[in-house]
Chain A
Amino acid sequence: MKTTKLNILPIPTFSHLGVNFTDRRIENAIYDNITLQSGSTDITKNAQCTLTAENGEHKSVLQYVRADNAVLIDTSVKVENGAVAVLVQIFDTTEPIVSKLNVDIAENAHFELVQLYIGGRDTVSEIKAELSGRHSGFVSDIAYKLDNNDKLDLNLIADHFGKNSMSKITVGGVMSENADKIFKGTINFKCSASGAKGTENEDVLLIGEKVRSRTVPVILCSEEDVEGSHGATAGRIDNAKIFYMRSRGFSDERIMQILAQAKISRVIEKINDPQTKHRVYDSLGWCDIYE
């Protein structure tokens, strides 16, 4: 059966790292066509979703992906002039899934993306945001909690075309046991994007000697008048922090728990719907902090 190249790194690098692309079998599938409306939508089958925020409109949409079978989710978002769209995507499944998100952000439009990956046996997720309009904005906050044999391949590309466009990508997560994650984040300043700004940050907490965390934060730049930066940190909790917390009576187990929660609750707190929030904390097994 033929495979499809997914999550392609815009400019390939050393092949031995295995980050240039990933191969997946994608069969011809039947999709549900869903027009996303404000509020929460559960997704359990292959779905082609569309979201349009028309001129000056403000829309806030939530997708809760709880798949029982292998699932393909293809979401297109159009944020028209002066509109604001907020999309929350929660991936709460153990089954393999492929998610694609294409976003077009017009003049003075603003798109906010909140993504949470709760485990996932084999998740391939691609986000392509085109900041096509002047003063367009893209803010994404992404968190993952991976353990057991969880696998996540995340490819985010922000293409800056518009003058004075702005992107801010924040990714954070906790990995333990045999979790394997690739995060590729690209900020691409095209030569029309004078005055554009883009920042990207990833901060991973690693617990356990068998985790594998690959990070490729890319900045491509063909415009002089831009400001771009990226940062990444990865590793365990530093000893000074452990000692400080121990000295306040925290057991090591509790320290890990609290700091793991701290990494992820930042994103959960962005979910406006209390019911979904509860559902997420339940799924994470952290009901105790939500009361």
Chain B
Amino acid sequence: MCDILKIENLCVCAENKELLHDININIARGETHVLMGHNGAGKSTLGCTIMGSPEYKITGGRIFFNGEDITNESADKRARRGIFLSFQNPVEIPGVTLSEFLRNALEQISGKRQKLWEFKKQLNTAMEVLDMDKSYADRELNVGFSGGEKKKAEILQLLMLKPKLAILDETDSGLDVDAVKTVSKGIEEYRKETGGTLLVITHNTKILESLTVDKTHILSNGRNAKNGGGELAFDVLENGFGEVFV
């Protein structure tokens, strides 16, 4: 079976500092992988690099999506291929409402005009899954949203855009117990509806409980320190990284 994502000997630099060195990760379609490591190990860098952030320069290696080389593609092209990144710190877009933004994004990705009525219906359904107040649809995207609201808005976009591969960058961090549950529900819904592939960056078990984790990758100092099965993630979350690096 063809891997949906294939990362080959990837090296990444920012401001003349090497942040990732010789990373190799393969993710098969429909699998759920967990990416772990200490703060500053390079997890977010890897997530952003897969999405195509211009902040990070690829100095070596390649990234394949569905067998095609996307190493030099811009983020919007990757999004249209079906890659999604749930941002750790979602950006505020004043003057553009959440619903306007989503409808436009859907049009960009699908290349099709979105009928207002159908779009509204879909949006309402998705917002219900996430216990989001309807009024959020008409609020400016992320402007004045609390941390939790921003994360919910990211998952809302995940549900609406239905990507093939979703990278969740600490979507559960800074959330209270109930909010983590809601966000997990959204992720479950995404899996159920699309059978999409997941790469989850996290420090918590909570968000993983409802998921079947297939593989775990641990980064340390920008290197692939260890790869293992799903149980490795739970092992680390229980016992810390100490054991792993011995």
Residues of A within 8 A of B (CB): 239-252, 254, 258-259, 261-263, 265-266, 291
**B93 and A241 contacting across the interface, CB-CB below 8 Å:** yes
**B91 and A262 contacting across the interface, CB-CB below 8 Å:** no
Q: Does B51 contact A (CB under 8 A)?
A: yes
**B52 and A249 contacting across the interface, CB-CB below 8 Å:** no
Given A247-B52, A247-B79, A251-B108, answer yes or no on A259-B91 (Cβ-Cβ < 8 Å).
no
**A250 and B93 contacting across the interface, CB-CB below 8 Å:** no
Given A241-B91, A244-B90, answer yes or no on A249-B96 (Cβ-Cβ < 8 Å).
no
> In the assembled complex, which residues on chain A have CB atoms less than 8 Å from the CB atom of B41?
none
* Distance between Cα atoms of A247 and B93 in the complex (Å): 14
> In the assembled complex, which residues on chain A have CB atoms less than 8 Å from the CB atom of B51?
243, 247
> In the assembled complex, which residues on chain B have CB atoms less than 8 Å from the CB atom of A251?
76, 108
Size bracket of the B interface: 20 to 34
**A249 and B105 contacting across the interface, CB-CB below 8 Å:** yes
Q: Does B85 contact A (CB under 8 A)?
A: yes
**A248 and B95 contacting across the interface, CB-CB below 8 Å:** no
**A254 and B93 contacting across the interface, CB-CB below 8 Å:** no
Which of A239, A245, A259 is B54 in contact with, Cβ under 8 Å? A239
Smallest CB gap from B104: residue in A: A258
**A240 and B104 contacting across the interface, CB-CB below 8 Å:** no
**A249 and B80 contacting across the interface, CB-CB below 8 Å:** yes
Smallest CB gap from B48: residue in A: A243
Q: Does B194 contact A (CB under 8 A)?
A: no
Closest Cβ of chain B: how far from A112's Cβ, in Å? 20
**B80 and A259 contacting across the interface, CB-CB below 8 Å:** no
Which of A239, A249, A291 is B76 in contact with, Cβ under 8 Å? A249
> In the assembled complex, which residues on chain A have CB atoms less than 8 Å from the CB atom of B79?
246-250
Closest Cβ of chain B: how far from A265's Cβ, in Å? 7
* Distance between Cα atoms of A38 and B65 in the complex (Å): 60
> In the assembled complex, which residues on chain B have CB atoms less than 8 Å from the CB atom of A252?
74, 76
